[in-house]
Structure 1
Amino acid sequence: MMRIAALQMQSAPGDVDTNLARIEQAAQEAGQGGADLLVTPELCVTGYGAGDIIKSLAEPATGSQVKRLQKISTESGVAIIAGFAERDGAHVFNSAAFVNGDGEPAIYRKSHLYGPYERSLFKSGNPDNCIVELGRLKLGLLICYDVEFPENVRRLALAGADAVLVPTALPRGPSGTFITDHMIQVRAFENQIFVAYVNHFGNDGRFTFAGRSRIAAPDGSLLAEGPEDAESMMFADIDPGAFSASMADNTYLEDLGSA
């Protein structure tokens, strides 16, 4: 079993120091709450709606931002997943870093960019299985729009992920409400895994976010949920053994090749 903390936050656009300071505070709070892992939103280090300045703030995975996240993880004793703008040569990727102390970070690059805003800033990553191990659990990473393609979650589930962790920047609106109220739970149920979907809230000057972060269990139930328009620190225990009955009844992954 592993306890995760999810921070629904309001990033300051273009203010990396302020955003990292908030993550540091949250990591300390997560550790005090017994969490092994803190998950934060998409591009929370730079702010999602910062615009073209994101390109100048982008850093390689070996840069100061990820090093600061490693330092925060070491001091708090909590692993961290945080969204940042990753520079690799001439390209910038919408990425998420997994850090666990001063160990080698794992980097996932968003494969499905959403809309002209993201496509004007970032290069798409290759759809792949970014799976990290923490404790005895395997954790798959996706970012926002990626989770809306069932193939992405299914691929991670077939590769053995116990949970899929999804930093997001979901805007407010009817589609956003449907995604948070239905799609996230369905992704968990149809793959019999946990799904944590961690969003921003409020308005960053360019986008108004839906909030409504969710942590869903394999049986489709919600273990934690954030409000629409406020910061929230959510905790949930990721314990596959607690959902063995659901996994035994809903054998989707086993039955894929039986048709």
Structure 2
Amino acid sequence: MRLALFQLDASNAAGGEAGLGRIGALMRAAREAGAGLAHLPELALPGYGAGAEALRETAMRAPEILARLEDLVAETGVALALGLPVLDGGAVLNAAILLRPNRERVLYAKRFLYGDYERAAFSAGAAVSPVVEVAGFRVGLLVCFDVEFPETVRELALAGADLVLVPTALPESAGARFIARSLVPTRAFENSLFLSYADWCGADAAFRYQGLSAIVGPDGIPLAQAGEAGAEMLLADLDPAAFEAPRAANNYLGELLARRSG
């Protein structure tokens, strides 16, 4: 399967028709590149730093937005993973959504909220992501800060995931460089799975972002890596044969399961 990851420039973030139009253009670009799955950052609509009011307004429109996005998925034949605020009763959730042609949508709500900004805007999710099939791969979802806890990726790996999609909005810092360059590849390596980490770059009115989006293989080596600045489309062909050597050399999951069953 060919995966298209889009690192987006936060200075161009938008909601409403402008945001949907931009996503449509990205989906068509993914199709032209031969991708079967497109991956966008956290809160791709309306933008991570849009503020609590705009996030709630977008969450209220989420059913309409999701219907429009499902039309794009049907039109292009490309599955789509992205971040979007959604409502759960009166609560606003920071969600990752996976849309697949002619399949039921998948929603995961971020469980680990980062900082005062998120805690003021969102309620935390409680459920582990479903693991579902996309082009022969078993796929799970996390959002940004979630991936920094080893338990979250491990529980998806134990549930059978071999690809984890992480929409993110990583603020720029020295620590963020370590997260993107070292921690994210480690999560892929220690679970012998593919991990896609789609970040913003540039700045909006509230934050400056790290960039350094990446698609990482089961051996912890990036298959594609973006820079710190500039919107980019990363492409990587995910080959199931890539699981064999890492899982044979470091069978962490097998050892863990053997101890549990013993």
TM-score, normalised via structure 1 length? 0.95
Mean CA deviation greater in 183-192 or 92-101: 92-101
In 2, Cα distance between equivalents of 1:30 and 1:19: 17
Indicate conservation of the 8 Å contact 1:71/1:101, yes or no: no
Deviation for aligned residue 1:60: 6.6
Aligned to 2:185: 185
How far 1:10 sits from its partner (Å)?
A: 2.3
**Aligned with 2:4: secondary structure?**
strand
CA distance in 1, matches of 2:61, 2:162: 29
Alpha-carbon shift at residue 19 of structure 1 (Å): 1.9
Distance 2:14 2:27 in 1: 21
Partner of 2:29: 29
Instruction: Using the TM superposition, give the Cα deviation of residue 242 of structure 1 relative to its aligned residue in structure 2, in angstroms.
Output: 2.7
8 Å CA contact 2:165, 2:195 repeated in 1: yes
Which structure features the higher share of helix residues?
2
Match of 2:244 in 1: 244
- Residues 75-98 of structure 1 show CA distances to partners (whole Å, capped at 9, x for unaligned) of 111000111110122110000111
Mapped partners of 1:68, 1:215: distance in 2 = 27
Shift of residue 130, structure 1, vs aligned partner = 2.2
**1:5 aligns to 2:25 (yes or no):** no
Residue 40 of structure 1: aligned partner: 40
**Residue deviations 1:189-245 (CA, integer Å, cap 9, x gap):** 000001100001110110000011011111111100111110000011112213411
What is aligned with 2:58? 57
Q: Is the 2:108–2:127 contact (alpha carbons within 8 Å) kept by the matching residues of 1?
A: no
Secondary structure of 2:108 counterpart: strand
Percent of paired sites with the same residue: 42
1:19 aligns with 2:16: no
Q: Which residue of 1 aligns with 2:140?
A: 140
Q: Is this contact kept in 2: 1:169–1:199, CA < 8 A? A: yes
**What amino acid does structure 1 have at the position aligned with 2:179?**
I
* In the alignment, structure 1 residue 258 sits paired with structure 2 residue 251: no
Deviates more, 1:204-213 or 1:19-28: 19-28
Counterparts of residues 111-190 of structure 1 (less than 5 Å): 111-190=111-190
Determine the C-alpha separation between the residues in 2 that align with 1:216 and 1:103.
Answer: 26
CA contact (8 A) 2:45 2:58 kept: no
Helix, strand or coil for the counterpart of 2:126? coil
Cα 1:133–1:59 change in 2 (3 A) is farther
Structure 2 unmatched ranges of 5 or more: none
Q: Which amino acid is the alignment partner of residue 134 of structure 2?
A: L
For structure 1, which runs of at least 5 residues remain unmatched after alignment?
none
Residue 198 of structure 2 is matched in structure 1 by 198
Report whether the alignment pairs 1:220 with 2:233.
Answer: no
For residues 60 and 70 of structure 2, what CA distance do their matches in structure 1 show? 15
Indicate the SS of the match to 2:229.
coil
The whole-number CA distance in structure 1 between the counterparts of 2:176 and 2:20 is: 26
Specify whether residues 96 and 59 from structure 1 end up closer, same or farther in structure 2 by C-alpha distance, changes over 3 A only: farther
With normalisation by structure 2, the TM-score equals 0.94
RMSD: 1.5
Distance across 2 between alignment mates of 1:13 and 1:242: 35
